[in-house]
Structure 1
Amino acid sequence: MEKQMKFKTSINCGGCVAKVTPLLNAAEGIENWKVDTDNPDKVLTVTTSLPEDAVMETVKKAGFKIEPLQ
């Protein structure tokens, strides 16, 4: 079942978004995602059937910090 998750990240500009895009787009189970770079927490919102840690691992592979938002 798909759910929406929100994460605080270090993805803070268009170049960062471009760097993480191929990994998130290729991840099986991620329906869609977006990063609010205007938000101070650089919030990544993901609609996915993946567990939270799998999403976090994908973003870490791109070289960014990520933690769940409560």
Structure 2
Amino acid sequence: METLKFKTNIKCGGCVATVTPHLNGLTELSKWEVDTNNPDKILTVETASVSDAGLIKETLKKAGFQAEEV
């Protein structure tokens, strides 16, 4: 498993609720969480491969959010 971290604009519980079905729909992810208390709103993802970073960014974009790998 690989752990990827992204700086996002997911700011609150409502935002997390919006992205939940999108991220839960990705079979490549085994676990994910967003630290909304962190000023950078860090999304931490456990995935099979680091090559999934583009897929995660695209999925968040479709949900209306931005992500930048850190």
TM-score tier (shorter) = over 0.9
Q: Name the structure 2 match of 1:65.
A: 66
> Which residues of structure 2 form unaligned runs of 5+?
none
Match of 2:61, SS state, is: helix
What's the CA shift for 1:43?
Answer: 0.1
1:28 paired to 2:21 = no
Match of 2:23, SS state, is: helix
Counterpart-to-counterpart distance in 1, 2:8 and 2:61: 10
Q: TM-score with structure 1 length normalisation?
A: 0.92
What's the CA shift for 1:28?
Answer: 1.4
> Which residues of structure 1 form unaligned runs of 5+?
none
CA-based RMSD of the aligned residues comes to 0.8
Match of 1:20, SS state, is: helix
Q: 4+ runs of 1 displaced by more than 2 Å?
A: none
Q: Name the structure 1 match of 2:2.
A: 3
Q: Which amino acid aligns with 1:12?
A: K
What's the CA shift for 1:45?
Answer: 0.1
What's the CA shift for 1:17?
Answer: 0.1
Q: Deviations over 1:42-65 (max 9, x none)?
A: 000000125210111111111001
How many corresponding residue pairs? 68
Q: Which amino acid aligns with 2:55?
A: A
